[in-house]
C-alpha cells in the first residue's frame, strides 16, 4: 500500500495552488450558547494547515458538523468554527456561507496565496452522505473544482464513505495530512505487536456499539476493563440485578458468551455509584455491583473498581481507552472516569485515548493531555480501525 503524504505535496511546491483540505471540525457545541466546548479537533488540524499556509497555498478547508439532513440548518453552521480556527492560526479565515454555491465560489476565487477559507457544512448538501454513487459523485465534482490537490486530514471521518472523504480523492491528486498519518501510525502499533501487558479500557453506553471491537480485541489483549453504561449488561449476564441502570436485554446472552470464552480476561466493576435519578443533584451511594437496589440507576463505577482497574493499568505497557466510565459531565459521577484517566496517565505505557467522549473527558476534567502518548480525534474511526475494517477514506488515499 502506498499513500502519498503532505510532505510529498509540499516538495512539489504548492505556492499559488489551491489545496482542498478535508478536516474533521465536528466539535461539540454548547446547546444553550452555541459556544465551542472543546476545540481539540480544530487544534489537531493546525500542523497541516500551517504548513500549507507557510508554503503559500490557497487553502480551502471543508468539514461536516453534527448530522444535519442534507439541507442548511443554522444550528450546525461552521461559522463559529471559522472564528476559532482564525484565532488559532493567527490570521482571519474567510468563511463561505454555502458549500459549493456562489459564496463558496467567490470566497475561493478571492483567496490570496497563504490565505485560508472554510466552506459551510458539507452535510448541508444531500450529495455528501448519499448512498447513491452518482449523487455523491456530482457533489464531489463541485467540491473538487475548488482544488488543484486534495489533502485528507479528517481522521474522525475516514470510516465514512462520503463524497468529501471517498469520491473527491478520486478526482484530484490526493495525499494524507499530518493528523491522518499520525493517527494511522499510532493505531497500527495497537494492531501489530503491542508491547505487553496490553490493557484495553472500554466504556460508553452501549455494548452493541462496541461488540465488533470487543470481538476483535479480546484475543489480542491481556486485560479488558469494562465500565460505563455498558457494564450493566455484563453484570446482568453474571446474574446480578442492575436496578434501573442502562441494560441491553438482547445483548445479555452475548455478554455471557464473551465472559465464558475468555476466563479472567474481562474485568467488571465490583462496586458502582447508584443514584435515585439521572440528575446532577440526585441522591447517590456506592453499592456493591451485585447489590444494586431495584429503584436505583448506576451512573459511575465505584472507588474499589477504580483501584482494581488502576492496579491492572499500572502493570500495562500498552493501553487503549475508549468511552467514559460514568456520566462524567455531572461532577458527582465523574470520579470513575477521572480515576481511570489518571491511572492511564501514570502508567509507564504507550497509551492511546480513543476520540469522541473520552478525549473530551480528558480535557473537560482538566487532565494533562501530554501525559498520554496519543489522544485520537476519531471515536468511531479509531474503533473501526482496531476492528480491522477497511476504512473508505484511507483506501481512497492509496494509489
The answer to whether residue 227 is catalytic is: no
- The yes or no reply on residue 380 touching ligand 3PG (CB under 6 A) is yes
393 is catalytic: no
The interface with ligand 3PG within residues 332-361 (CB under 6 A) comprises 356
Binding mask 168-187 toward Mg ion (x if CB under 5 A, else -) reads -x----x-------------
Question: Given 323, 339, 354, 356, which residue is catalytic?
Answer: 356
In the complex, minimum distance from the CB of residue 275 to ligand 3PG, in angstroms, rounded to a whole number: 28
Using a CB cutoff of 8 Å and minimum separation of 24, what contacts does 208-211 make?
Answer: 208/248, 208/251, 210/322, 210/323, 210/383, 211/251, 211/254
Give the bridge partners for 202, in sequence order. 226, 322
Q: Toward Mg ion, which CB reaches closer, 172 or 345? A: 172
Fill in the DSSP letter of residue 273: E
* Residue 155 contacts residue 316 (beta carbons within 8 Å): no
Binding to ligand 3PG by residue 376, rule CB under 6 A? no
Catalytic residue among 105, 171, 206, 265: 206
* 305 near Mg ion (CB under 5 A): no
203/379 with CB nearer ligand 3PG: 379
Contact 234/266 with Cβ under 8 angstroms?
yes
Strand partners, 23: 153
Query: Smallest distance, Å, CB 148 to ligand 3PG?
Result: 26
- Residue 205: which of 317, 328, 318, 339 has the closest Cα? 328
Dihedral (Cα; 96, 144, 167, 117), 10-degree rounding: -30
Find out whether the peptide bond into 381 is cis, omega within 30 degrees of 0: no
Task: Verify binding: residue 164, Mg ion, rule CB under 5 A.
Answer: no
Tell me which of 17, 18, 22, 41 is the catalytic residue: 41
- Total number of residues that touch ligand 3PG (CB under 6 A): 9
Q: What is each CA distance from 388 to 155, 202, 278, 352, 367, in whole angstroms?
A: 16, 17, 36, 17, 30
> Binding to ligand 3PG by residue 157, rule CB under 6 A?
yes
Q: For ligand 3PG, which residue of 14, 21, 22, 26 counts as binding (CB under 6 A)?
A: 26
DSSP letter assigned to residue 96: P
Of 135-143, 166-174, 175-183, 303-311, the segment contacting Mg ion by CB under 5 A is: 166-174
Residue range at the interface with ligand 3PG (CB under 6 A); choices 2-10, 114-122, 152-160, 260-268: 152-160
Distance from the Cα of residue 49 to its chain's centroid = 20
CA-angle at 320, arms to 310 and 182, nearest 5°? 140
Of 67, 69, 261, 295, the one binding ligand 3PG by CB under 6 A: 67
Residues in the site for ligand 3PG, rule: CB under 6 A?
Answer: 24, 26, 67, 156-157, 160, 356, 379-380
Residues in the site for Mg ion, rule: CB under 5 A?
Answer: 169, 174
Residues annotated as catalytic are 41, 206, 356, 380
Amino acid at each position: 500500500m502506498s499513500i502519498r503524504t503532505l510532505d510529498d505535496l509540499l516538495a512539489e511546491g504548492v505556492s499559488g495552488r489551491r489545496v482542498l483540505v478535508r478536516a474533521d471540525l465536528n466539535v461539540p457545541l454548547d446547546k444553550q450558547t452555541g459556544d465551542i466546548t472543546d476545540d481539540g479537533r480544530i487544534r489537531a488540524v493546525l500542523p497541516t494547515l500551517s504548513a500549507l499556509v507557510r508554503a503559500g497555498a490557497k487553502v480551502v478547508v471543508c468539514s461536516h458538523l453534527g448530522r444535519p439532513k442534507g439541507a442548511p440548518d443554522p444550528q450546525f453552521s461552521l461559522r463559529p468554527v471559522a472564528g476559532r480556527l482564525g484565532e488559532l492560526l493567527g490570521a482571519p479565515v474567510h468563511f463561505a456561507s454555502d458549500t459549493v454555491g456562489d459564496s463558496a465560489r467567490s470566497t475561493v476565487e478571492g483567496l490570496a496565496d497563504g490565505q485560508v477559507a472554510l466552506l459551510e457544512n458539507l452535510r448541508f448538501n444531500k450529495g455528501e452522505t448519499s448512498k447513491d454513487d452518482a449523487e455523491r459523485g456530482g457533489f464531489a465534482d463541485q467540491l473538487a473544482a475548488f482544488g488543484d490537490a486534495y489533502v485528507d486530514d479528517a481522521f474522525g471521518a475516514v470510516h465514512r464513505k462520503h463524497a468529501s472523504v471517498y469520491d473527491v480523492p478520486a478526482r484530484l491528486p490526493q495525499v494524507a495530512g499530518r493528523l491522518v498519518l499520525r493517527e494511522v501510525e499510532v493505531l497500527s502499533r495497537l494492531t501489530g505487536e503491542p508491547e505487553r501487558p496490553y490493557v484495553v479500557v472500554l466504556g460508553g453506553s452501549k455494548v452493541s456499539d462496541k461488540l465488533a471491537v470487543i470481538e476483535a480485541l479480546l484475543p489480542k489483549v491481556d486485560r479488558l476493563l469494562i465500565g460505563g453504561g455498558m457494564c450493566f449488561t455484563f453484570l446482568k449476564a453474571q446474574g446480578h440485578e442492575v436496578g434501573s441502570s442502562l441494560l441491553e436485554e438482547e445483548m445479555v446472552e452475548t455478554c455471557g458468551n464473551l465472559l465464558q470464552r475468555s476466563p479472567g480476561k474481562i474485568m467488571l466493576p465490583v462496586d458502582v455509584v447508584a443514584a435515585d435519578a439521572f440528575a446532577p443533584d440526585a441522591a447517590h451511594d456506592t453499592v456493591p455491583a451485585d447489590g444494586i437496589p431495584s429503584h436505583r440507576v448506576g451512573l459511575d463505577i465505584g472507588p474499589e473498581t477504580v483501584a482494581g482497574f488502576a492496579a491492572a493499568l499500572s502493570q500495562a505497557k500498552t493501553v487503549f481507552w475508549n468511552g467514559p466510565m460514568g456520566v462524567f459531565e455531572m461532577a458527582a459521577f465523574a470520579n470513575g472516569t477521572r480515576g481511570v484517566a489518571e491511572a492511564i496517565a501514570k502508567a509507564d505505557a504507550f497509551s492511546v485515548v480513543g476520540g469522541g467522549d473520552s478525549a473530551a473527558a480528558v480535557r473537560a476534567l482538566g487532565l494533562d493531555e501530554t501525559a498520554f502518548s496519543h489522544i485520537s480525534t476519531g471515536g468511531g474511526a479509531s474503533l473501526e480501525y482496531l476492528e480491522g475494517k477497511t476504512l473508505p477514506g484511507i483506501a481512497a488515499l492509496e494509489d
